[in-house]
Structure formats: C-alpha cells, structure tokens
Amino acid sequence: MARRETPAAGPGSRALVVDVIRSARSISRVELAEVTGLTQPSISNIVRVLIDDGVIHETGSADSTRGKPRILLSINPYSRFGMGFHLGAETLTCVAVDLTGGVVGREVVPLATGENGGDLAGRLVARFADFTDGLDLPVNRIEGLAIVAPTARPGFESAGPDLAAVRAELADRLRMPVLVENDAAAAALGEFWSRRVSREQAFGSVYLSTGIGAGLVFSGALFRGASFDAGELGHLSIRYDGRPCPCGNQGCVERYASMAAVVEDARQDPELAGRLTLDGSVSSAYDVIARAAVSGDPQAFALIDRAATHLAVAVASMVNLLDLGRLVLTGPAVASAGSIYARRLRSHLARTAHARNRHPIAVELSAQPRDAASIGAAALMVQAAIAPGHTTSAH
C-alpha cells in the first residue's frame, strides 16, 4: 500500500487510527502503519497525542520476526464515558458507555403522561444528575449527552417536544456537549462500535419498533443523507397499490411489518383477539403476540412470520442497493421475536441478494435490542470525542 503523508493533528487521520485500534482490540505501531497507509512518523505522532489524551494505552508486547518485541496499543476504556438517553413513548432509558462501547450503567424510568412536554429539559437534567451520581462517574470524564427519539433529526424540527430547544437548554445547564439523534441511526452506530466492526465493512442495522428504521455506517461514519433522513426503510414501498401511509405513500413496509402493524392485524382477527390480551399499549400487545408466537401458537407465529416476510422484501432492496455485507436486527420487536425475523431474512437474502454468490450477507441479532438506541446515543458522544473526523451531526 502506498504511503500517504497526513498531518498528525488532522481529525481524519486521528479518526482512522482510533477506528483501527478499536476494531483490532490490540495492535502495534508497525501494524497500524501497514493497515492505515500512514507513514511511521505520522503514526508515532498520532499515537503520542492519543496516549497523552488518555484515549489509548500500551498494553504489553508481542514477538516480532525482526527480533525486537512489538509494543501493543489498545483503547483505554475507562478514561472517558458517553451518556445516552432514549426518549420513548412511555419510558426514558439512560445508558453510560466506556470508550469501547461497553455499558457501564443502565436504568429505565417511566415517563408520566405528558412528560415529553412541559419542562422536559429540567427533568432530563435531574435524571442526568441522579444517574451519574448513582454510577459515581466523574463528570470531567463524561464527553457529553445524546438524546435520541424516533422522529428526531439533528438540526431539524421533529414531531413531539422541541428537541432543538431542549438540546440547547441541556447544553447550557449541563455545561457539556449535547446532541440530538434519530433512534435507528444511533442504534446502528452503537452496534458498529460495540461489535468492533471494521471500518472497511459496509454495515447496516434494521431497527424494529412501533415503526421501522435503518442505520448505515460506511467507512466508520453514519451515513446521513441530504437532510439527515437516510435510513427511512419503513417508508420503502413494497406494494404500489398497498395500504396508505401517513407519509403520503402507499404500501410502505412499515404498514405491514412494524410492531404497530402486527398489533393492528391481530386486533382485527376475532379468533386471535379473543384468545390473547391485546388491550393496552402497542408495545405490551405486541409482546403478548410475540410470546405466543415463539411458544408455538400457530396463528400468532403466522402473523409475525408474515410481517417478517414483508420486511425481508424491503431489506433485500436495501442490501442490493448498498451492497451490504453485514446486517444487525435490533429494537424492541427483536427482543421479543428476533429469531422469527432473522430466520425469514436469512432465507430470503440467500435467494434474492444480488451479491450472494460473491460474498455472504450476515444477518445477526442484537445482544441488547431494547437498549440499542440509548447505547448508540452514548457511543455517538464517545465517537465525537475521540474520532472527531466522523462527527457530522448538526447541533
């Protein structure tokens, strides 16, 4: 690989080095130069700055064919922390992660009716203080807070509370960086970061909740689109004359495969609705259906499997368009019935993925699907702090 001279202080080269160390777990300076294409002097300068900043540390040595042992470098996990708050319809999920994306603290608290309005910023400031005090995290090592919500778009107005105003007030009162992000995009970054996925992989995740979203990570960075709206998988039409969608389109996959769609279909089935308790929220009703499906109830299974089949059609289009090699399913629906969705997607992609004969398309399940968005929010703050070349979200 040809060497390229890059200023050691440049954010792009720093981000590149951090990403390689993160995905490799431990690596020597010589190997860093070989993988990144940077010169040895550039690597030495960047590594020295990262060690001084506490981002990485030397973790031992390994034998070398040239005689002198190689000093290994790895991320210093507990030198910095990121905080993520997922603002859901009924709950607030709070997560803290270290520099590797490892979760060091989590709590879920209920949101009272109407709490998304009013003094939301004040409530979040109080929750931040209680959460960090309970974890005994030093505030000077917290890189910031990211707030994620289903309709959030960095720098744009969203449905529900005015998150731009909330962000500004939080930043002023907490005296630290505060970001706003979409939950599906944040979940993708969290999966990418905590799984130590290589920046060379075209990586995507599908977030299954009351709606459907996707997140895409290319070259280590979230792909945003012209208006931070990339990843609206739920509004990919799978039937041109299908069910009308509030977005103005028809046949959107969200109208067939989301938690809300599954619950709507179940409530319209007299036999299924008569056997299962489907009152209450969409989330609670969906969990009832999912538990029945995975326990062997044939009607409940058929309902979710049909939703998974609709989703597979949309995902195949996304995989073919972007040539993805790795896909993670995450979100609340995956926590309840992820195996059904994964099985259907794998079989469909094995038949329809355009690149299936050139490379495998891995479909994986999130290890923490209910917390993926909040973990990703916290990881976003970590990445913004230690790999600033990838930070493209607007304040």
pLDDT tens sequence across 221-255: 888 888 778 889 999 999 999 999 999 999 999 99
Q: Rounded distance, CA 80 to CA 381, Å?
A: 10
Closest by CA to 180, choosing from 150, 212, 135, 138, is: 150
Give the count of domains, the chain.
3
Distance between CA 197 and CA 191 in Å, rounded? Answer: 8
Q: How confident is the model over 205-217, as pLDDT tens digits? A: 999 999 999 999 8
Backbone angles phi, psi at 30, to 5 degrees: -65, -45
**Helical spans, DSSP H, in the chain:** 11-24, 29-36, 40-52, 120-135, 163-174, 183-194, 254-257, 259-267, 270-275, 282-294, 298-322, 332-352, 372-386
Contact 90, 111 (CB under 8 A): yes
Amino acid 5: pLDDT: 41
Final residue in a domain of this structure, among 75, 92, 125: 75
Residue 1 three-state SS: coil
- 92 domain-assigned: yes
With cut-offs at 50, 70 and 90, classify the pLDDT of residue 64.
low
pLDDT of 157 higher than 50: no
Residues 210 and 166 in one domain: no
Contacts (Cβ under 8 Å, ≥6 apart) of 26: 59, 60, 72, 73, 74
Shared domain for 270 and 316, answered yes or no, is yes
Domain-located, residue 1: no
- 149 pLDDT tier (thresholds 50, 70, 90): confident
Is-contact 165 152, C-beta < 8 A? no
3-state DSSP call for residue 364?
strand
Q: Which has more confidence, 387 or 191?
A: 191
Interatomic CA distance for residues 174 and 250, integer angstroms? 44
CA 281 to chain centre: 24
Range of the domain at 52: 11-75
In a domain, 4, yes or no: no
In a domain, 142, yes or no: yes
Of residues 50 and 1, the one with the higher pLDDT is: 50
Q: What is the pLDDT at residue 202? A: 84
* pTM (predicted TM-score): 0.84
Residue in this structure with the two tokens 């109407």, named with its chain if needed = 114
Strands 70-75 and 56-62: antiparallel
Q: Is there a contact between 72 and 57 (Cβ–Cβ < 8 Å)?
A: no
Q: What is the mean pLDDT of residues 151-164?
A: 61
59 and 85, same domain (yes or no): no
Q: Is the same domain home to 207 and 308?
A: yes
Same domain, 46 and 105: no
48 and 90 part of one domain? no
The pLDDT tens digits of the residues spanning 332-353 come to 999 999 999 999 999 999 999 9
Asked whether the beta carbons of 85 and 31 are under 8 A apart, the reply is no
Q: Would you say residue 6 lies in a domain?
A: no
**What dihedral do alpha carbons 374, 377, 381, 382 form, nearest 10°?**
60
Predicted pLDDT of residue 288: 96
Residues 262-303 have pLDDT tens digits of: 999 999 999 999 999 999 889 999 999 999 999 999 999 999
**Amino acid (1-letter code) at residue 182:** N
Pair (248, 291) in one structural domain = yes
Q: Which of 148-157, 159-168, 200-209, 373-382 has the lowest mean pLDDT?
A: 148-157
> pLDDT (tens digit, 9 = 90+) per residue, 80-115?
999 999 998 788 999 999 988 889 999 999 876 455
> Does 232 fall in a domain?
yes
In DSSP notation, 326-340 reads EEEEESHHHHHHHHH
**Whether 260 and 325 share a structural domain:** yes
In this prediction, residues 151-178 reach a mean pLDDT of 77
Query: Quick one: tokens of 177?
Result: 């960086």
The domain that contains 92 carries what CATH number?
3.30.420.40
| 268 phi-psi bin (left φ>0, alpha ψ -120 to 50, beta other) | alpha
pLDDT of residue 24: 86
pLDDT band at residue 393 under the 50/70/90 scheme: very low
Under 8 Å between Cβ of 47 and 29? yes
The confidence score (pLDDT) of residue 70 equals 85
Please state, in angstroms and as integers, the Cα–Cα distance from residue 15 to each residue in 4, 47, 52, 208, 383, following that order.
16, 12, 16, 30, 9
Across the chain, mean pLDDT equals 87
Task: Assess whether 39 and 105 both reside in one domain.
Answer: no
